[in-house]
Chains A and B, each alone.
Chain A
């Protein structure tokens, strides 16, 4: 990686791009966040150093209810709740619905375990009772894109709509692809959601006989082009400066920091690679947000929660003190992971 080509926004670049900038030169900025976790009501709560009371499940009072919610699986309900919070926080949603044309808003979801409960329940019923044992209402839930489609339908989001199921790095990958969609002008805004449900099926599949603690919750960030941020006259909270997915954590961190940019907030992966073992090349960092210590295994939700937390930190000068105005989130890189990913965010 000696001659790594880096085409990203250097930290400290003035926000926004000049009027009339052609497509392909936009910068993706964070304009809203939403967090639906037991023990956390918003992104700033993720910065708490002590473990959140995130064992157990999100209470029903925080999830959509009523007729439209009845046929939805749990991951979809968690995602809908985070989506509403983030869109509202970004000023894109009010009591009358979406405030911008639906065609301008894309949806990117990250979830590894989202529809496993439906798939396993259906295959068990089929093997026991045949076709008569299954319900047509499960058909959409058997397809892994059901979360993103349901969110798009609920809020009228007609831009590109896709789902990352990419293992430990999936949430950061989703943020990276969403930023690309904004940068290339494919969409003006993207709602990015990371979500995982806790249920008996995924707990058994993930842990076998050993009990595992899995996250039940969701997080969302809204990415928006710098031109749109300016046109709407709203402040952005952070800028997505870099995304990369590499063979190991050290390499990913090296690429994301361009071989040594100072990191104000370090958000390490969950799992084996912990904060105290910060990878070589990271250098000094100011502050740590270790979701591996404060949350159960968050799988596909992790990267989005990290970016939400990083946004809250970057947007709050009181928290940052004299630390560098950058936050680096990393995921994966463990013994069973296929790769490691990193996202560098900077102040808006």
Chain B
């Protein structure tokens, strides 16, 4: 086949266990029906935990990372709350997103049985806000910062020897976009192993602008609830290792990508519906096959309404009580911007692997279109029969993405 992107190397690390591969389809078509790439390792750093296990246990226990913001002064802002990663060395330190990213990548690599030498492995990073917090600190004269580190390449090279590294800035769906492109690399046979990662730290500019735009001053996040007040930002990093051959904790079956091309910030129900259906079609499944949705559920007025309506429409053929379970975790993690899609993906992987689903904390009285959805409001829910999960992430500019994750064979 033809392909312009040169494969990183022909000396990829061997599969740790080639004897029991997960079902894969090496056919060089797009991630169509039957394709399933192994998710061989995961890593997470969020306000509720420092690795995948800690985060997932905390979410199942309904623990929240909510607190008063410490990274910068909020006395002249209306909003005061956020979900910050706890071991922040103090206020105003540059390169925190980079540090968390490296921790998540290291965990995912270790979990997948890779060494920390990633010199032959593409590393794709999705982010909403890059190292813009470091830029802010430099501009305010509070730290020195080299613009070379605005993207994550130099740190990934120093820490992991990685050279085929790519920082994608794509609003709040950035990391699912990155996941899609990683799948495309496998599809085009240009890599056998890809690290997909995401990192975001709260910037004062984004926090302040949301404070300006949101009518209310939320002190908590209430996804899909009638009393939701808006979103609160959170710090986060996530990573996973995607491989051609197993074993894996779960498999990636498809990622659908679409752009509304309607508005720079507002969501569009039609665009979201198109994206979800594209993800199903690419995975060769119908709405009936999905039994878990990791919704984005930011707790904003318009986004939750649009997401709920789109979910209700896409899963309407499943009938009353026939649709998938829906969970949304941002009441516990906050909105981790470009990281949120990959965080949702790792949660889906853990739910499929363990049969447990985190509760949708903060949801008491669902908004109209959400009333037909089956939320996990009590939790953690034990659902060992789960086979197929859908992960949603929607970003500014109508950058919509949805991933389909399947249980490992």
Interface residues of A (CB under 8 A from B): 1, 3-9, 13, 17, 22-28, 102-103, 106-107, 112-113, 116, 118-120, 122-124, 126-127, 129-132, 134-136, 138-140, 142-146, 148-150, 152-153, 155-167, 170, 173, 176-177, 179-181, 183-186, 201, 205-206, 240-247, 255-256, 336-339, 343
Q: Across the interface, do B76 and A131 meet the contact criterion of CB distance under 8 Å? A: yes
Q: 3 shortest A-B CB distances, which residue pairs?
A: A149-B397, A130-B76, A338-B153
Q: How far is the CA of A122 from the CA of B235 in the complex (A)?
A: 20
Does B135 lie within 8 Å of A116, measured CB to CB?
Answer: yes
Contacts of A26 in B (CB 8 A): 2
Q: Which residues of B contact A205 (CB under 8 A)?
A: 135, 138-139, 147
- Interface contact A179-B5, CB-CB below 8 Å: yes
Partner pick for A245 among B76, B128, B151, B163, CB 8 A cutoff: B163
With contacts A123-B205, A152-B261, A339-B164 known, is A160 near B396, CB below 8 A? no
Given contacts A120-B136, A144-B130, A149-B399, 16 further A-B contacts (CB under 8 A): A4-B10, A5-B7, A7-B3, A28-B4, A127-B73, A130-B77, A142-B205, A145-B397, A157-B261, A162-B168, A167-B154, A205-B138, A205-B139, A242-B6, A247-B119, A338-B151
Residues of A within 8 A of B146 (CB): 336
> How far, in angstroms, from A164 to B190 measured CA to CA in the complex?
19
B404: min CB distance to chain A, Å: 15
Asked whether A145 lies within 8 Å of B170 as measured between CB atoms, the reply is yes
Nearest opposing residue in chain B for A148, CB measure = B397
A159 to B261, CA, bound (A): 9
Q: Which residue on B lies nearest to A256, using beta carbons?
A: B6
In chain B between 340 and 359, which residues have their CB closer than 8 angstroms to a CB of chain A?
none
- Inside 8 A of A138's CB, which chain B residues have their CB? 205, 209
- The answer to whether A165 and B167 have CB atoms under 8 Å apart is yes
Given A139-B265, A336-B148, CB of A186 within 8 Å of CB of B6: no
A339 to chain B, nearest CB (A): 4
Q: Which residues from A are CB-within-8-Å of B19?
A: none
B5→A243 contact, CB < 8 A: yes
CA distance A271 to B183 in the complex (A): 34
Provided the pairs A145-B399, A158-B261, A338-B154 are in contact, do residues A173 and B166 lie with their beta carbons within 8 angstroms? Answer: yes
User: Are B165 and A25 within 8 A (Cβ)?
Assistant: no
B156 → chain A closest CB, angstroms = 7
B1-55: which residues lie under 8 A (CB-CB) from chain A? 1-7, 9-11, 28-30
Which residues does chain A contribute within 8 Å of B262, judged by CB atoms? 153
Bound CA span A127–B139, Å:
11
- With most chain A CB atoms within 10 A of its CB, the pick from B170, B187, B205, B396 is B205
B330 contacts A by Cβ under 8 Å = no
B138, B166, B204 — which one has the most chain A CB atoms within 10 A of its CB? B166
Contact B184 A184 (CB under 8 A): yes
Report chain A residues within 8 Å CB of B59: none
Docked pose: A132 CA to B119 CA in angstroms: 48
Most buried by B among A106, A134, A149, A337: A149
> Do the beta carbons of B6 and A122 come within 8 Å of each other?
no
**Complex Cα spacing A22 to B122, Å:** 26
Q: Which residues of B contact A343 (CB under 8 A)?
A: 4
Give the size category of B's interface with A: 35 or more
Please give the distance in Å from B273's CB to the nearest CB on chain A.
Answer: 13
Asked if B309 is at the interface (CB within 8 A of a chain A CB), the reply is no
Contact with A along B161-180 (1 / 0, CB 8 A): 00111111111001001001
Q: Min CB distance, A5 to chain B, in Å?
A: 4
Bound: A103/B3 CA distance, A? 23
User: C-beta contact mask, B203-218 vs A, less than 8 Å → 1, else 0?
Assistant: 1111011111100000
User: Does B382 sit at the interface, judged by CB under 8 A?
Assistant: no
The yes or no answer to B264 lying at the interface (CB within 8 A) is yes
Pick from A145, A176, A206: contact of B4, CB under 8 Å? A176
6 A-B pairs with C-beta separation under 8 A: A136-B213, A143-B395, A146-B396, A146-B397, A161-B257, A165-B151
Docked Cα-Cα span, A181 to B146, in Å, equals 32
Q: Mark B254-265, 1 if CB is under 8 A from A, else 0.
A: 000111111111
Which residue of the partner chain A has the closest CB to B172?
Answer: A143
**Does A244 contact B168, Cβ atoms closer than 8 Å?**
no
Contacts of A106 on B, CB cut-off 8 Å? 259
A11 to chain B, nearest CB (A): 12
CA distance A6 to B8 in the complex (A): 9
> Which residues from B are CB-within-8-Å of A336?
146, 148, 154
Q: A244 to B6, Cβ gap below 8 A?
A: yes
- B69 in the interface, Cβ–Cβ < 8 Å? no
Please give, as numbers and ranges, the residues of chain B lying within 8 Å of A246 by CB-CB distance.
163-164
* Given known A4-B9, A163-B170, contact A180–B140 (CB-CB < 8 A): no
Contact of A164 with B168 in the complex, beta carbons under 8 Å: yes
CB <8 Å contact, B171 and A143: yes
A145 touches which of B139, B169, B213 (Cβ 8 Å) = B169
Assess whether B265 is in contact with A338, with CB atoms less than 8 Å apart.
Answer: no
What are the interface flags for B237-265 relative to A under an 8 Å C-beta threshold, 1 for contact and 0 otherwise?
Answer: 00000000000000000000111111111
Contact B136 A177 (CB under 8 A): no
Question: Is B10 a contact of A5 with CB atoms below 8 Å?
Answer: yes
Query: B71: shortest Cβ distance to chain A, in Å?
Result: 12
- B313 at interface (Cβ–Cβ under 8 A)? no
Q: Considering the complex, give the chain A residue whose CB is closest to the CB of B259.
A: A161
> B residues within 8 A CB of A162?
168, 170, 174, 177, 181, 399
Contact with A along B309-346 (1 / 0, CB 8 A): 00000000000000000000000000000000000000
B212 touches A142 (CB 8 A): no
B209 engages A136 (CB within 8 Å): yes
Instruction: Kindly provide the distance from the CB of A221 to the nearest chain B CB, expressed in whole angstroms.
Output: 13
Assess the A177–B181 pair: CB atoms within 8 A. yes
Q: Is the CB of A123 within 8 A of B136?
A: yes
Establish whether residues A161 and B399, one from each chain, have CB atoms under 8 Å apart when the complex forms: yes
Q: A97 to nearest B CB, angstroms?
A: 12
Q: Is there contact, CB below 8 Å, between A144 and B169?
A: yes
Q: Could you tell me the distance between the alpha carbons of A29 and B209 in the complex, rounded to whole angstroms? A: 41
B259 and A119 contact, CB distance less than 8 A: no
Minimum CB–CB distance from A322 to chain B (whole Å) comes to 26
With A8-B2, A245-B164, A255-B6 as known contacts, state yes or no: A126 contacts B150, CB within 8 Å: no
